[in-house]
Structure 1
Amino acid sequence: MTAIVKYNAGNTQSVESAVKRLGFECIVTADKDILLAANNVIFPGVGHAATAMAHLKATGLDTFLPQLTQPVLGICLGLQLMCRFTEEGSTPGLGIFDVDVKRFPPTDIVPHMGWNNTGHNSCGLFNSIAPNEHFYFVHSYYAGLCAEAAAQCNYILPYSAALQKDNFYAVQFHPEKSGAAGEQLLKNFLSL
């Protein structure tokens, strides 16, 4: 069973639909016992970092999630909240990844919205996915390049499109909206 973290940060329904379409059972929940017992956990998110983190703190999920030992996948805001700090609302994150999240330099092309190629390493998340595959992005903040980067994208500047550390994985793009490559990535994660 896959557990999708419910924390009032949107996007859970499209992730749930994508997981079920792949033939996996899943539940959207904030129940810590269910999260702890799940085979894997998806931490999606669309919204404002400070508001989302306030909800995580109010429910105790901020200290609970980093202690999970099964595979955990952060998506979009989920990736950003798994980092050390984000400039959005000057918000401390969960500290799983040792990198800060910054706002793209102000230009007329922010947010980064649409398809972009993503170079990746041999992290298991990208098995059977072509090098420089295209994924769908929607974001105004980015995690800088770091030792934990599993994939890189270049939009205004190079940044981490995916992160991996121990049992924690995260992607800035939306695999549930990224066609066949996104489905393959979700399938890879759900099969870990």
Structure 2
Amino acid sequence: MIAIIDYGMGNLRSVQKGFEAVGAEAIVTSDSRKILSANSVVLPGVGAFKECMVNLEKLGLIDTVHQSVKSGKPFLGICLGLQLLFNHAEEFGYVEGLGILSGKVVGFKDTQPESSSGESLKIPHMGWNRVRVAPGNPLFDSVADESYFYFVHSYYIVP
């Protein structure tokens, strides 16, 4: 079973329906026991970094996320859910993250993103772009290098 962490924000039902469409059993929950007993965990996210962190804190889910990651079972952060795993974000000022991964989340304010063809991209960046796949990453084992992925974002990770 896949536990999709419900912290009161995000595209929870869309994520759940996506997993169910491929035959996976997925539940949306804020119950720490259910999250920790799941075979894998997903932290989705849509919204503001600070508000998400506040909601995780209010629901007592910060330690649950840390325990889930440390358990070694599959853990997937989607969009803002991935960003929350880093040390901090520079969205509307400095905001502490979960600190599970080293790095920070910054906006495309100082550098203009470019497509693989070198053209400047509008911010927020929305559209299809080719992605270079790092060899040996199990998440992308069945994905061909230079495959197209769809992006909707204004922030990126600096390790």
Is the shorter-chain TM-score for this pair beyond 0.5, marking a shared fold? yes
Partner of 1:119: 132
Partner of 1:109: 122
- 1:9-29 CA-partner distances (Å, limit 9, x unpaired): 211111111100100111000
Number of residues of Structure 1 aligned to a counterpart in Structure 2? 145
Partner of 1:99: 103
- 1:56-78 CA-partner distances (Å, limit 9, x unpaired): 11112122201211211000001
- State the TM-score, normalized to the length of structure 1: 0.72
Alignment partners' CA distance in 2, 1:30 and 1:117 = 35
Alignment partners' CA distance in 1, 2:128 and 2:11 = 18
Larger radius of gyration: 2
Q: Partner of 2:57: helix, strand, or coil?
A: helix
- 1:29-87 CA-partner distances (Å, limit 9, x unpaired): 01000001100001111101111110011112122201211211000001110111001
Structure number with the higher strand fraction is 1
Q: Give ranges in structure 1 of 5+ residues lacking alignment.
A: 147-192
Identity %: 43
> For 2:146, which of 122, 127, 132 is the aligned residue?
132
- State the TM-score, normalized to the length of structure 2: 0.86
Alignment partners' CA distance in 2, 1:8 and 1:114 = 27
Q: Give ranges in structure 2 of 5+ residues lacking alignment.
A: 113-120
Q: Partner of 1:18: helix, strand, or coil?
A: helix
Does structure 2 retain, via aligned residues, the 8 Å contact 1:11–1:45? yes
Partner of 1:142: 156
Q: Does the alignment pair 1:26 with 2:26?
A: yes
- 1:98-126 CA-partner distances (Å, limit 9, x unpaired): 01010112668111111111112121100
Partner of 2:88: 85
Larger relative contact order, structure 1 or 2 (CA cutoff 8 Å, min sep 6): 1
Runs of 4 or more consecutive aligned structure 1 residues displaced over 4 Å after TM superposition: none
